Amino acid sequence: MNRALPLVLLLCGCPPVLPDVPVPDSGRPATLSFKHAHNDYEHPRPLLDALDQNFESVEADVWLDGNDIGVSHNGAPFKGSLKALYLDPLAAKARMGTLPRPFFLWLDLKQGDPKLLDLIATQLAEYPVLTRFMDDGPAQSGQVTVILTGDDAGKKALVARAAPRPYARDSNSYSPMDPPSDNKWGAYALNYYAFMQWNGEGTIPPTQQKQLENLVNGAHQLGRQVRLYGSPETPAYWKAAKAAGVDFVGGDDLAGIAAAFAK
């Protein structure tokens, strides 16, 4: 495997051509793609609109708001608190048995403030519904799994805390030479156009479909799930992403994504 990027790609700013990776032979069922609501809190009814469309994954941007955790894209004014918009409703729906299984809550850390990190660790620890990650052995599976994304130093500091931890983290960069997944780092959230050139219109070119498959298969060989942000909001893209095995297929168009999955 050539670890170096071709010089022409570095000079032109083109996405790197990923090495061919076969579908991992793990003995597990075929990859299941989940519907993901990007910036879910921007919808009229945060969480509830996504659940009405049977989404299995939502994303909330979190900030320090005094002595609480606020949710918004750019800081104050906030849409509400993390507890009110997500943690409490998810716990209630889990008790009623009305949540999709599995369900994922992505927390995008917009700051690395130590006080925000303390609040995240403290608040999430109060919810038995959340998956607990151990230092050794399998995770204690819950009805909701929290994945930390965003501020790199912040999410790494949180997963370095003592187990059991009610969250794991992602990485916003990918290399085929990354170490295997562990109980701290279990996912990738990657900029679509850092790897792809197709704009989602028409039929995906075979070379681009192969590139997408190599990215997904490489991550899966390492034992990690894949989410691509900034991806096209088109039925053609959602179809191609599902075919390639992208784990979290998302965007802002909840109805469009749901319709694509229904087909």
What span, in angstroms and rounded, lies between the C-alpha atoms of 97 and 92? 9
The residues spanned by each domain of the chain are 26-262
Range with lowest mean pLDDT among 20-29, 82-91, 191-200, 235-244: 20-29
Encode pLDDT of 13-61 as tens digits: 678 888 887 765 554 444 589 999 999 999 999 999 999 999 999 999 9
**pLDDT averaged over every residue in the chain:** 92
Tell me the pTM. 0.91
Q: How many other C-beta atoms lie within 10 A of the C-beta of residue 92?
A: 12
**Nearest 5°: CA angle at 214, between 252 and 12?**
80
Per-residue pLDDT at 19: 81
Q: Are strands 57-65 and 68-71 parallel, antiparallel or unpaired?
A: antiparallel
What span, in angstroms and rounded, lies between the C-alpha atoms of 53 and 254? 7
Per-residue pLDDT at 13: 62
What whole-number percentage of the chain has pLDDT above 90?
A: 86
Per-residue pLDDT at 28: 43
CATH number of 26-262: 3.20.20.190
